[in-house]
A and B are shown apart, each in its own frame.
Chain A
Amino acid sequence: MNDGLKTFLLRLFFLYPLCLAGWWALAGFQVETMAAVTSGILEMLLPHLEFASQTQWETILIQVQGSEGQASVIIDPLVLTRGLPIFFALMLAAPEFERKRRALLVGALAIFVAAIMGLASETAVRMAEAVPNLDQANRVPAAFIQIIAKSVATRVLPVGLWLWQSWGFVAGFAKK
Chain B
Amino acid sequence: MIVLKDVLALLEGELLTPFPSPEAAFRKVFASDLMSDVLTAAEPGSLLLTGLANGHVVCTCSVADLAGVVFIQGKRPAPEVINDALAKNLPLIVTKMTMFEACARMAGRLEDGGHARP
A and B from one assembly? no
Q: Which residues of A contact B (CB under 8 A)?
A: none
Q: Which residues of B contact A (CB under 8 A)?
A: none
